[in-house]
């Protein structure tokens, strides 16, 4: 993991109460047993008392809210608890899927191995899905989680046969350019690598109410790897 990440360069929005950043992929939100670098540690290096208000998976990029003081943290935590925060994710899924406000309401059970699965014994979980664009063998899907269960979007998409590209834990396949690009060749005696080294999931936008009662809406631009994937998919639509 690179240690040269400049926290201030990640900031998309800030006021006296909150910092909203564009989290890079491959970095944990909170303390990680493997990597010493994490978003909270980066924030603490420049802020006196930051608290991360929610969490993104290590490989997930995108918008993440950080409170600058305890009152701001409590204020936003209550909105998450009451399901008043609007979260929008974009995912590239394997296969062609034409979804229009499809609501998946399936309980999710956390497993001892760090994964999750659909189970009536799990906690209630709801996500709405709408297709933004269909490519030759993939789909760009807007995901709006109502609840915030572990791996919720990943599990719900997999449950309808639309696993996230690159999410091998839940059935997604690595993206190989050769799978869609005619005449694509790799060097002799080498093995083709996936274009993205992670699952294609990005937290696109976040909307919540500030302490002053005003709505805060922040969108996070796609990172380079997500943009490169969409570029390849767009260039090879048949």
Is residue 140 within 8 Å of residue 132, measured between CB atoms?
Answer: yes
In a domain, 185, yes or no: yes
What pLDDT was estimated at residue 182? 65
> In angstroms, rounded to a whole number, what is the distance separating the alpha carbons of residues 178 and 101?
32
**Is residue 131 classed as helix, strand or coil in its secondary structure?**
strand
192 confidence band (pLDDT: 50, 70, 90):
confident
Looking up residue 132, the CATH number of its domain turns out to be: 3.30.2350.10
pLDDT digits (tens, 9 = 90+) for 49-74: 999 999 999 999 999 999 999 999 99
Q: What is the DSSP letter of 177?
A: G
1 confidence band (pLDDT: 50, 70, 90):
very low
> In angstroms, rounded to a whole number, what is the distance separating the alpha carbons of residues 106 and 125?
6
Token digits for 8? Answer: 């201030």
Per the structure, how many domains does the chain have?
1
In a domain, 43, yes or no: yes
> In angstroms, rounded to a whole number, what is the distance separating the alpha carbons of residues 218 and 232?
27
Token digits for 24? Answer: 């890079």
The DSSP string of 68-100 is SSHHHHHHHHHHHHTT--EEEEEEEEES----S
- Residue ranges making up the domain that contains 204: 7-235
Please say if 57 is a catalytic residue: yes
What pLDDT was estimated at residue 198? 96
Q: Which of 57, 94, 167, 225 is catalytic?
A: 57
In a domain, 202, yes or no: yes
Give percent helix, percent strand, percent coil of the chain, each to the nearest 5: 20, 30, 50
What pLDDT was estimated at residue 3? 46
pTM of the full structure: 0.92
In a domain, 2, yes or no: no
194 confidence band (pLDDT: 50, 70, 90):
confident
In a domain, 1, yes or no: no
């Amino acid at each position: 993991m690179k240690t040269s990440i400049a926290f201030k360069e990640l900031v998309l929005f800030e006021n006296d109460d909150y910092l909203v950043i564009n989290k890079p992929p491959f970095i944990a939100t909170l303390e990680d047993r493997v990597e010493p670098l994490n978003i909270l540690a980066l924030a603490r290096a420049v802020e006196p008392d930051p608290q991360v208000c929610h969490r993104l998976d290590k490989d997930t990029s995108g918008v993440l809210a950080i409170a600058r003081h305890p009152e701001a943290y409590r204020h936003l935590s209550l909105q998450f608890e009451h399901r008043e925060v609007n979260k929008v994710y974009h995912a590239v899924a394997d296969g062609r899927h034409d979804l229009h406000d499809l609501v998946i309401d399936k309980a999710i059970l956390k497993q001892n191995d760090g994964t999750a699965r659909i189970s009536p014994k799990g906690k209630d979980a709801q996500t709405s899905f709408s297709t933004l664009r269909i490519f030759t063998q993939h789909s760009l899907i807007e995901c709006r989680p109502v609840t915030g269960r572990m791996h919720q979007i990943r599990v719900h998409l997999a449950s309808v046969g639309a696993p996230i590209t690159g999410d091998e834990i839940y059935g997604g396949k690595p993206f190989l350019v050769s799978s869609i690009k005619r005449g694509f060749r790799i060097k002799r005696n080498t093995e083709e690598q996936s274009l993205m080294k992670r699952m294609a999931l990005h937290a696109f936008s976040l909307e919540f109410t500030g302490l002053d009662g005003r709505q805060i809406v922040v969108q996070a631009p796609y990172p380079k790897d997500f943009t490169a994937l969409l570029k390849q998919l767009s260039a090879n639509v048949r």
